[in-house]
Chains A and B, each alone.
Chain A
Amino acid sequence: MSTATSLHQSRKRKNGVMMTLCVIAAGIGLVWLALILGALVYKGAAGLSLDVFTQMTPPPGDAGGLLNAIYGSVVMTVIAVIVGTPIGVLAGTYMAEYGRFSKLTTVVRFINDILLSAPSIIIGLFVYELMVRPMGHFSALAGAVALAILVIPVVVRTTEDMLNLVPNALREAGTAIGAPRWVVIKSVAYRAALSGIVTGILLSIARISGETAPLLFTALNNQFWSSNLNAPMASLPVTIFQFALSPYEEWQQLAWTGALIITLTVLALSIFARSLTGRREDK
């Protein structure tokens, strides 16, 4: 009787210890997030002013802003999304609509998942060999292509998943009134999966807006205003990288402010994207 009780006690104690450890683990995870965001807001907000959005990146020791870097990031992101999204949506459409059970789909899904988590610096090297070396110089266009390659796997994945969720009865109804397959896809499947596909695009924007490594040797950087796609262009992440590692206090402050801007953008995009699909799940 007493051994049974003590065994029960020790099992309960063990359970208590392990569960406490789990709560501590969750606490550590949340504290880390709070620490990083806290430091970011504390250090970044100090430099936040209108100048950041209206002035060029300064030479060492001068005051200035991040206008050319923000402009470069926006330009390259927009081109990357315009190039990458149609390819991603079409590939996802093939996988979910035409070749749902084909071998090609299985292989593409596997390779796409690997592209999704492949190191982005590898993509940078690829575009360097593909574009920068043959053209002989760094360019904003090469940077945009590198980012587009990062957009594709995210969009492929979400498009396929979202189209797979569209009930087949809807497609059958479309086919029954004599519409060809692509009209059914365009007017029925895309419409039903629209919010999911938009979510994928938003998540891909969130992903590429903070990417630094693939831009280091494709778009390089530019201290000045440039709207020439065939020349090096500044971008927010590369500017942060350069300024943070510099010994100048003004530059470091701008790096923190830039980091805050990127993080707020990324968090806002992800939360907005999640709220788009979240509403669907709750229904």
Chain B
Amino acid sequence: MSAAQEALPAIRGSRDATVKRFALTDAVFHGMTRAAAILVLVLLGGVAISLFAGSWQALSTFGFSFLTTESWNPVTEKFGALAPIYGTIVTSAIAILIAVPLGIGIAIFLTELCPRPLRRPIGMAVELLAGIPSIIYGIWGLFVLAPFLQTTVQPFIIGVFHGIPGLNSLFAGPPYGIGLLTSSLILAIMVLPFITSITKDVFDTVPPVLKESAYGIGCTTWEVTRRVVIPYTRIGIMGGVMLGLGRALGETMAVTFVIGNAHRISTSLFAPATTISATIANEFTEAVGDLYTSSLVALGLILFVITFLILAIARYMLMRIDARTGA
């Protein structure tokens, strides 16, 4: 027997051991990555469960009337979520009304009109706007935008609409500067970059052939956008708008600075109001008593449910667009 033949079983043995070791280490790594992926699911589940558990006391005390009562009185421990819900929905709706036309306009500008060398810098500037922390918008809104609105814009609008029924209650003074409308403006600035960048991305998914054929029969840029690009990307645009809405609904710090924190529903857009997240941010650390804290967590649960639904719809719509382009 040669030396090589003698060594063969030993080599085979160490080969088996190596293969076994490889299989084991790979299984460990596979398991670790899988556990991390499952942890992401557990996190969201944990958020839902802990919010539900934390708000149980308030929900069982007030029942359904928690959603329909306006009064919010820490002294008598009577809590109702209607005013914050109203403020959240109104500020977000106005913000979306302002931001959607602007965002689509900027997206059209970036994809159709902008000179090529400027596209990247302007697109990047818009995306940087999305990265600025919300507290910066808050401090800017409180010290720059609100005084400006208070001294110039609001007195002017109140004067103009003074005698017109309907509008005079919508824009009723005194001009505080802060309030529903100021918050909406700040929110509009904050969601604008999200809407713009998603709209721009879905505009880029339109096959050039479609646009070229429309241009070929003599359409103007606006007609191509209106009749080809927007219908083709409708679902994606809706997804972007919903994503922006989700952001606006949950936005905390910027609104907390300029909303005024008043638990009442007023017909005037200039009046101070509150939103769900602003109420939590303002009152949570000062809340004395379990019922007070629990009511604030219940507000959080409501916000979580609303934003979860909106964001889920948004993601579903964007996934459909992705699936179609095979991206």
Q: How far is the CA of A22 from the CA of B122 in the complex (A)?
A: 14
Would you give the shortest CB distance from A28 to chain B, in whole angstroms? 6
Contacts of A107 in B (CB 8 A): 41
B30 in contact with A240 (CB, 8 Å): no
- Does B221 touch A at the CB level, under 8 Å? yes
Task: Given A23-B113, A185-B29, A213-B252, decide whether A119 and B133 contact each other with a Cβ distance below 8 A.
Answer: no
Task: Given A22-B105, A25-B109, A26-B105, decide whether A122 and B133 contact each other with a Cβ distance below 8 A.
Answer: no
- Does B292 touch A at the CB level, under 8 Å? no
- Does A255 touch B at the CB level, under 8 Å? yes
Q: Contact flags (1/0) for A87-130 with B, using CB distance below 8 Å? A: 11011011101110000110110111111011111110110111
B37 in contact with A104 (CB, 8 Å): yes
Cβ-neighbour of B222 out of A18, A87, A126 (below 8 A):
A18
Would you give the shortest CB distance from B258 to chain A, in whole angstroms? 11
- Does A74 touch B at the CB level, under 8 Å? no
Look across to chain A and name the residue whose beta carbon is closest to the beta carbon of B189: A32
Task: Given A94-B34, A111-B41, A153-B40, decide whether A118 and B250 contact each other with a Cβ distance below 8 A.
Answer: yes
- Does A191 touch B at the CB level, under 8 Å? no
Q: How far is the CA of A128 from the CA of B304 in the complex (A)?
A: 15
Candidate in B41, B126, B193 with the most chain A CB atoms within 10 angstroms: B41
- Does B53 touch A at the CB level, under 8 Å? yes
Task: Given A114-B308, A185-B29, decide whether A119 and B252 contact each other with a Cβ distance below 8 A.
Answer: yes
Task: Given A95-B37, A266-B131, A266-B133, decide whether A111 and B44 contact each other with a Cβ distance below 8 A.
Answer: yes
- Does A21 touch B at the CB level, under 8 Å? yes
B26 in contact with A126 (CB, 8 Å): no
Contacts of A93 in B (CB 8 A): 33, 36
Contacts of A199 in B (CB 8 A): none
Would you give the shortest CB distance from B55 to chain A, in whole angstroms? 9
Cβ-neighbour of B133 out of A129, A185, A237 (below 8 A):
A237
A12 in contact with B139 (CB, 8 Å): no
A114 in contact with B312 (CB, 8 Å): yes
Chain B: number of interface residues, binned into ranges: 35 or more
A216 in contact with B281 (CB, 8 Å): yes
Look across to chain B and name the residue whose beta carbon is closest to the beta carbon of A116: B311
Would you give the shortest CB distance from B194 to chain A, in whole angstroms? 8
A26 in contact with B109 (CB, 8 Å): yes
B139 in contact with A255 (CB, 8 Å): yes
B222 in contact with A19 (CB, 8 Å): yes
Task: Given A29-B129, A114-B44, A182-B26, decide whether A119 and B222 contact each other with a Cβ distance below 8 A.
Answer: no
The A215-256 residues at the B interface (CB cut-off 8 A) are 216-217, 220, 237, 240-241, 244-245, 252, 255-256
Stretch touching chain A among B3-11, B59-67, B79-87, B241-249: B241-249
Look across to chain B and name the residue whose beta carbon is closest to the beta carbon of A105: B37
Candidate in B39, B103, B127 with the most chain A CB atoms within 10 angstroms: B39
A-B contact pairs, 12 of them (CB 8 A): A14-B220, A25-B106, A26-B110, A39-B144, A99-B37, A105-B37, A114-B312, A119-B277, A211-B133, A241-B253, A259-B135, A263-B132
* Chain A interface (Cβ < 8 Å from any Cβ of B): 11-12, 14-15, 18-19, 21-26, 28-30, 32-33, 35-36, 39-40, 43, 86-88, 90-91, 93-95, 97-99, 104-105, 107-108, 110-115, 117-123, 125-126, 128-130, 133, 149, 152-153, 156, 180-183, 185, 206-207, 209-213, 216-217, 220, 237, 240-241, 244-245, 252, 255-256, 259, 262-263, 266-267, 270-271, 274
Given contacts A117-B246, A129-B50, A130-B46, 16 further A-B contacts (CB under 8 A): A14-B222, A29-B102, A39-B144, A86-B36, A94-B36, A104-B38, A108-B41, A110-B312, A111-B40, A118-B250, A118-B311, A121-B250, A121-B277, A125-B297, A209-B133, A210-B132
| 4 closest cross-chain pairs (CB), A and B | A210-B133, A119-B250, A25-B105, A94-B33
